[in-house]
Amino acid sequence: MAKSEFRLGSDDPASMDQATAASELAALATEIARHDQLYHGHDAPEISDADYDRLIARNRTLEAAFPLLVRADSPSQRVGAALPAQGLFGKVRHVRPMLSLSNGFSDEDIEGFVTRVRKFLSLADTDKAQFVAEPKIDGLSLSLRYEHGRLIQAATRGDGTEGEDVTANVMQIARLPKQLAGSPPAVLEVRGEMYMNRQDFLALNAAQNDAGKKVFANPRNAAAGSLRQKDATITGQRKLQFFAYSMGETSASIADSHWEFLQALREFGFSVNNLSRRCDDVDALIATYRAIGSQRVDLPYDIDGVVYKIDRHDYQERLGQVARAPRWAMAHKFPAEQAETVILAIDIQVGRTGALTPVARLVPILVGGVIVSNATLHNEDEIARKDIKIGDRVVIQRAGDVIPQIVHVIEKVRSGAEQTFEFPVHCPVCNAPAIRPDGEAVRRCTGGLNCPAQLFEGLKHFVARNAFDIEGLGARQIEQFIELGWVKAPADIFRLDNKADALAALDGYGELSIKKLMQAIAARREIGLERFIYALGIRQVGQATARLLALYYGSAEAMLTALNPDADLDAAHQALVEIDQIGSAVADDITSFFANRDLYQLIVDLAALLTILPPQRPAENSPISGKTMVFTGTLARMSRAEAKAKAESLGARVAGTVSAKTDFLVAGADAGSKARKAAEIGVTVLDEDGYLALINQA
Ligand code: IVH
């Protein structure tokens, strides 16, 4: 691969001569331009944002010391050009969301999965439940929509709800049916994995290299990059392939089971992976996993695990999904790939919540087809536990998209020159004290949003895809706006509209890119409550918890009233832990986040600039929508987990404990203290039949 031999300089500019500085600036300009190109291709960034930022910072330091040496092609002279390519592809909303998969790594994880599924469905030991095991293809998922047998639209997964319209590109791919055989339903969305064979990937890279064009890090990036071409005919020249494995929207049922569905897909003309097997029990699943694993190196394409799916469609339906992954499927990942290298240095990164994370800088090494030059060390205890020193030779591993980790030090090759790392007790960015509370593993910077690193990371999260999703506002723009003093808090993003003229005066921002940015910001003045909550970046509050909070509070006003710093925080905490699936530790993080007066005020300021829409409840007019339900005891016709999931899908809130806010307690056999408490405080108690009658399922 055409990798440059670039090394980031560290000489003190005060002691450098002009010629040395000029040559380092020239090298930086070339290197940064190369990374810009990789980044804009969206498919092959070679370095992390932090490393990129280091290049920019070094360039800035040198330019400050040698202003006469600023080059016309310096990155500092064309900041705005860094705006990501926008609007190349339109958006497509997925009628049925494109889900991801939860992962398992050990046989026990898989046994746990099968047991959970069987329990959810209340299956007796004698009841059979088959699963299909199929290879997990390492490509990118695609949804293909056919109407009356004709391919009419192709979309990428995107965030699962909305993807990119890549129809024109997909139409150019030869090995993909444009017209289905047999008798498919009028509307049929088929999902599967687009991928590139290893051999085709190597040939493509060789050709790219010869032509002086960018090479791809692995077949998956090559497939993604080949699909997202401005010129669709280039997509057609790349050897892309597709395995079909799941179903989106359909106008009629095709099969009662996944296995039959796969056979139907074959008849419609799709390629379906022929290593897939239907299995009767856990042992058969694990045997299939081992069999597929042993063929892995000989397969023409990359796979990174085996996916298990419960076979019967009615079971899939009953099991439904948690957050973004189906309960009825799981990916069993292959073990991580390992390699040996040397630790050059240990740096500290400061995250959004102030966490100080040590990162090992490594002599770059190829692991499983990707060049790795950083590994996370998690926290100070991990460094001590693994006795990691700077200069150590170490075994590292990387599994899929997970950040590479250090497995262990190879102690026998130590020379004695290795250095112990002193973990800082001040933030390396803002110098505020970094505190590690008793019993916690993580040391955190106490600078809050006054710490440039926390502000930067917080804002990056704020505008990210699952949060405010503001196109054209990425890490580089945020860094620039922070530096210019325009953005000191999230609300300032919505005040950028009075900066249009100032932006125009900056090099590189054209009229069009400014207009697009302003439009993208304006479009997000209206935002759903769950995205709003997620965007705040509260510790431990991911998308799933944000949704629970949105459903619970119903509006931003209600949330900001319940959690304001002068409110009764014990009561607010108690209310939070009563929400099913929110535990005490998460409730602690939520209440202490809002208890910070400065932060609270920033959120109120932000909310004042926005229209925050109430969450869409799954069913607005079901008999239990908006009601708070508690389930207790053993139900006869379904497991408690299924009953809860059903109630949530009908728009109810499910709580874990009975309180004055409970509307109904559904009590199965052997209900204990909850039933007594409900009787005491006058909450309506329903038995299973009464509940099913209420939701019209009797
Ligand atoms: S099923 C609801 N089956 O893995 C079903 N996914 O980590 C969701 N993938 O986004 C997907 N091979 O891109 C499924 N045989 C397979 C797969 C597969 C690869 C990918 C897919 C998905 C990702 C989740």
pLDDT for the residue numbered 346: 96
Distance 685 CA to ligand 1 centre (A): 42
pLDDT digits (tens, 9 = 90+) for 394-450: 999 987 666 899 999 999 999 999 999 999 999 999 999 999 999 888 999 999 988
Nearest atom in ligand 1 to the alpha carbon of residue 157 is 10
Confidence at 46, pLDDT banded by 50, 70, 90: confident
* Residue 426 near residue 412, CB atoms below 8 Å: no
Whose structure tokens read 């993909």?
Answer: 176
Tell whether the model's pLDDT for residue 620 goes beyond 80. no
Instruction: Choose one of 555, 586, 613: the last residue of a domain.
Output: 613
* Residue 119 near residue 642, CB atoms below 8 Å: no
Please tell me the number of Cα atoms within 13 Å of 591 on its side-chain side: 20
pLDDT for the residue numbered 342: 96
Among 96, 191, 194, 245, residue to substitute to test ligand 1 (most atoms within 8 Å of Cβ)? 245
Residue nearest to ligand 1 atom 13, measured at CA: 141
Residues 637 and 582 in one domain: no
Residues 555 and 652 in one domain: no
Among 100, 194, 401, residue to substitute to test ligand 1 (most atoms within 8 Å of Cβ)? 100
Which alpha helices (DSSP H) does 270-394 contain, by range?
282-295, 313-319, 380-385
Residue 94 CA to residue 111 CA, distance in Å, equals 32
Best mean pLDDT range from 56-70, 366-380, 459-473: 459-473
Residues 97 and 145 in one domain: yes
Residue nearest to ligand 1 atom 12, measured at CA: 136
* Residue 186 near residue 252, CB atoms below 8 Å: yes
Residues 686 and 540 in one domain: no
**Range with lowest mean pLDDT among 39-43, 161-165, 365-369, 609-613:** 39-43
Residue nearest to ligand 1 atom 16, measured at CA: 136
pLDDT for the residue numbered 78: 55
Instruction: Please state the domain count of the chain.
Output: 3
Alpha-carbon distance values, 208 to 138, 205, 370 (Å)? 22, 5, 18
Instruction: Choose one of 561, 581, 613: the last residue of a domain.
Output: 613
Distance 345 CA to ligand 1 centre (A): 37
Residues 566 and 658 in one domain: no
Residues 638 and 539 in one domain: no
pLDDT for the residue numbered 43: 62
Residue nearest to ligand 1 atom 5, measured at CA: 99
Whether residue 510 lies inside any domain: the answer is no
Nearest atom in ligand 1 to the alpha carbon of residue 321 is 2
- Give the CA diameter of the chain: 86
3-state SS class at 495: helix
Whether residue 257 lies inside any domain: the answer is yes
Residues 594 and 638 in one domain: no
Whether residue 135 lies inside any domain: the answer is yes
Q: Which long-range contacts (CB under 8 A, 24 or more apart) does 48-53 make?
A: 48/374, 49/475, 50/349, 51/373, 51/374, 53/475, 53/479
Give the range of the structural domain holding residue 544, as residue numbers without chain letter: 528-613
Instruction: Report the chain's terminal Cα–Cα distance, integer Å.
Output: 65
Tell whether the model's pLDDT for residue 621 goes beyond 60. yes
Residues 589 and 641 in one domain: no
Give the chain's mean pLDDT: 90
- H or E element in which residue 366 lies: strand 356-367
DSSP string, 5-51: --------GGG--HHHHHHHHHHHHHHHHHHHHHHHTTS---S-HHH
Question: Which domain CATH number covers 559?
Answer: 1.10.150.20
Nearest atom in ligand 1 to the alpha carbon of residue 325 is 2
Q: Ligand 1 pocket: which residues have CB below 6 Å?
A: 99-101, 134, 136-137, 141, 157, 193, 245-246, 307, 326, 329, 331
State the catalytic residue, choosing from 3, 119, 128, 136.
136
Residues 156 and 122 in one domain: yes
pLDDT digits (tens, 9 = 90+) for 146-195: 999 999 999 999 888 889 999 999 999 988 999 999 999 999 999 999 99
DSSP string, 385-405: HTT--BT-EEEEEE-TTSPPE
Whether residue 575 lies inside any domain: the answer is yes
pLDDT for the residue numbered 400: 63
Distance 321 CA to ligand 1 centre (A): 14
Distance 100 CA to ligand 1 centre (A): 6
Whether residue 387 lies inside any domain: the answer is no
Is there a catalytic annotation at residue 488? no
pTM (global) more than 0.85: no
Whether residue 156 lies inside any domain: the answer is yes
Instruction: Choose one of 317, 333, 349: the last residue of a domain.
Output: 333
Question: Which domain CATH number covers 122?
Answer: 3.30.470.30
Residues 114 and 190 in one domain: yes
Among 98, 101, 259, 277, residue to substitute to test ligand 1 (most atoms within 8 Å of Cβ)? 101
Query: Percent of the chain scored above 90 by pLDDT?
Result: 64
Whether residue 192 lies inside any domain: the answer is yes
Residues 100 and 204 in one domain: yes
- Higher pLDDT pick, 233 / 43: 233
Distance 192 CA to ligand 1 centre (A): 7
Nearest atom in ligand 1 to the alpha carbon of residue 141 is 13
Tell whether the model's pLDDT for residue 508 goes beyond 80. no
Residues 689 and 566 in one domain: no
Distance 163 CA to ligand 1 centre (A): 15
Whether residue 18 lies inside any domain: the answer is no
Distance 90 CA to ligand 1 centre (A): 23
Residue 248 CA to residue 93 CA, distance in Å, equals 12
Question: Which domain CATH number covers 646?
Answer: 3.40.50.10190
* Residue 348 near residue 358, CB atoms below 8 Å: yes
